[in-house]
Amino acid sequence: MMTRTIARILIPVALAGLVFGASPAYGTAQTRHPITPHRISTYRVGYGTIRNANLGLIKDLEVVIHRSQSSKDVDAFMSVWDRDATLTTGGNTYTGTQQIRDFWATKSAAFKPENNWIELTATQRMVTTMHGNQGTFHFECYFLDIPSKVVKGISVVDSTVVRHNGRWFVKTVTIAPLANL
């Protein structure tokens, strides 16, 4: 009886570990971001193909973006943007890091001090591609108001990324609301 109970508990836990990253081949680890002093989750993929490692580094851009939005750290947020990046949102296009910084610092609800939000991403819906020193990245942002536990908005983000000197940067971003709540 005890053996069956243990088996009923351990087998699903072991399977979940294999699916969600507890194996030595897959999973996450904490490391320093290559540009900012922040600690971020990095992805261990397969047994170390360079292509998969780069796809993980591209996905790490989302981690920096959402952690810096949640903590209202515009400097950390801007550290992952390419110098001549473009941002298109709300029918407007912002070009270059100064215009993009001004948008996030002054117009974006995510950086407003009165909004106690955390930004979340459904990782199973992330789509990342890479071709040499360029790639694409698609994800959804869920803006959760911490005090009320209410989702304040959902956005779809489509972006291109570029690699300079071994680091990945956001090149173009198009943000569209998925739902207005």
Higher pLDDT, 50 or 145: 145
Identify whether 176 is part of a domain.
yes
Query: Of all residues in the chain, what percent carry a pLDDT higher than 70?
Result: 71
For residue 101, what is the domain's CATH number?
A: 3.10.450.50
Identify whether 10 is part of a domain.
no
* Distance of alpha carbon 4 from the chain centroid: 41
Identify whether 17 is part of a domain.
no
- Report strand pairing: 134-145 vs 39-44: unpaired
Identify whether 71 is part of a domain.
yes
Identify whether 96 is part of a domain.
yes
Identify whether 77 is part of a domain.
yes
Query: 79-88: per-residue pLDDT in tens?
Result: 999 999 999 9
Query: 63-100: per-residue pLDDT in tens?
Result: 888 888 888 999 999 999 999 999 999 999 999 999 99
Higher pLDDT, 121 or 180: 121
Query: 10-38: per-residue pLDDT in tens?
Result: 444 443 443 343 333 344 455 554 445 55
Give the model's pLDDT for residue 85.
97
Q: What range does the domain containing 83 cover?
A: 28-39+57-180
SS (H, E, C) 10-58: HHHHHHHHHHHCCCCCCEEEEEECCCCCCEEEEEECCCCCHHHHHHHHH
Identify whether 124 is part of a domain.
yes
Give the model's pLDDT for residue 124.
78
For the chain, how many structural domains are there in total?
Answer: 1
Higher pLDDT, 148 or 57: 148
Identify whether 102 is part of a domain.
yes
C-beta neighbour count of 171 within 10 angstroms: 19
